[in-house]
Structure 1
């Protein structure tokens, strides 16, 4: 008997409903009923029944071409979650200044198990820029945001993030555990992390941790852009600027180097 089959029927349906939401969240152009059923490995009748319930709750909608998409209530729920994260309001002016100073996209992210979730960003003024949507996530081990948080986290957090393996996102991705641990050590030493087009082809990024009053990493700031502009010889400059903004945000959250052992 599978783990899903062992659950009560209502619990199985709840899990399936959230699976459908995850599938539709990744399909910006929407999916037909048949495509949803295939993606969820469900009979069409089951998928249709669940979609109808979700439609009644306004978390999905069906539109032109009978294609299903996420609904407005999902946005309302997401906004409620983001509004509860006060760090966003404290970070906005710092992020705007960082983007103005560097010319590149600045992002704020938090760790969610083995992934880092974008909760705020300021876009580069350049027409060619990194497109990272709020609410999206990336593996913590490959992104500059995730690495910045992991570098200042306890060992068990790092081990948990690495437990599922190191995904190869690009040709440059570090997939060796020892090499990644060495990179996290370098991040601690210099105060910022580097993603050398390892998470997304052609995109370089630097990240720095945001610490709370206990000195624990609760988020990270990053600066990212095309490697034609974010050249290797700019990484230290951008890293230091990002670290300075993250340090100021940490102070706003009550961080004190005297109480926390220094940073």
Structure 2
């Protein structure tokens, strides 16, 4: 009986380590060698090699020509399937389409994953100049309006964890590159209720975002409007923000978040 319990514990530890390998490769901007994986995860090289071989066999990891390792395409397939099955995306689509009709700019629905945002959905207007993004892709939180919108409404411990994971890579001369500057931007976002990416990820591109909050007022996603800075001007931001607020309220209502909030208030008053 004891041997069976130990065997089960080993299997759980093995799964934890396998996911740690995937997390490490996912956080790295470049493929990693066996020694780098072993050192980063404090594993013996033979142990790290064994995990990498299993993951490679299942196409979760692939080896480059130079013998280093990166995430495999099977994870991309799983990611796409997960996005397709995500209920939030289906519920949000009518509201995103209405938002695009109102603003005539590109709308995105995004979620937070560690220190990156993932694009769950994208609706585009019929215009020649549009934002080039794809569903399933990711970008850092520190230089995106959706990232900052979600961060601003997270509990402090979550904010600190995301900032600790962020590399603060510079993309333009406007990119936020320090934790202090990001915290200042988070405070601005809290005060005004929306976040702005002012050509911080790509020159000539301006984005504005508002979080989708659940019944506990925690962000589960964010919706953004993006467009060239000559169209999405600073003067237009408040009006676009109002459209975004209506959009996320509609999503929250369809997801049942608003109804849950009202029920909780009613129960509290009754007590």
Instruction: Give the TM-score of the pair, scaled to structure 1.
Output: 0.72
In structure 1, stretches of 5+ residues that fail to align are 1-7, 27-37, 43-49, 62-68
- Which one of 220, 223, 237 corresponds to residue 218 of structure 1? 220
**Runs (4+) off by over 6 Å:** 8-23, 50-56, 58-61
Deviations 1:2-22 (A, max 9, x none): xxxxxx999999987898899
CA contact (8 A) 1:206 1:224 kept: yes
Q: C-alpha separation between the residues in 2 aligned to 1:116 and 1:78?
A: 13
- What CA RMSD, in Å, does the superposition of the two structures yield over aligned residues? 3.5
Q: Which residue of 1 aligns with 2:116?
A: 115
Instruction: Give the TM-score of the pair, scaled to structure 2.
Output: 0.70
Distance 1:103 1:22, change over 3 A: same
Instruction: Pick the structure with more helix per residue.
Output: 2
The Cα shift of 1:177 comes to 3.0
The Cα shift of 1:159 comes to 0.8
In structure 2, stretches of 5+ residues that fail to align are 1-12, 35-50, 63-70, 266-271
Distance 1:123 1:55, change over 3 A: farther
- Which one of 243, 248, 251 corresponds to residue 250 of structure 2? 248
Q: C-alpha separation between the residues in 2 aligned to 1:10 and 1:154?
A: 29
Q: C-alpha separation between the residues in 2 aligned to 1:70 and 1:100?
A: 38
CA contact (8 A) 1:192 1:240 kept: no
> Could you say which structure has the larger radius of gyration?
2
CA contact (8 A) 1:105 1:122 kept: yes
Q: C-alpha separation between the residues in 2 aligned to 1:21 and 1:117?
A: 13
CA contact (8 A) 2:114 2:165 kept: no
The Cα shift of 1:60 comes to 9.3
Deviations 1:6-59 (A, max 9, x none): xx9999999878988999xx9xxxxxxxxxxx95447xxxxxxx9999898677
Tell me whether 1:135 sits opposite 2:133 in the alignment. Answer: no
- Which one of 162, 176, 193 corresponds to residue 174 of structure 1? 176
Q: C-alpha separation between the residues in 1 aligned to 2:17 and 2:89?
A: 35
CA contact (8 A) 1:211 1:253 kept: no
Distance 1:11 1:156, change over 3 A: closer
Q: C-alpha separation between the residues in 1 aligned to 2:24 and 2:178?
A: 31
Matches within 5 A, 1:1-263: 39-41=31-33, 76-165=77-166, 166-256=168-258, 258=262, 259=264
Q: C-alpha separation between the residues in 2 aligned to 1:19 and 1:160?
A: 16
SS of residue paired to 1:163: helix
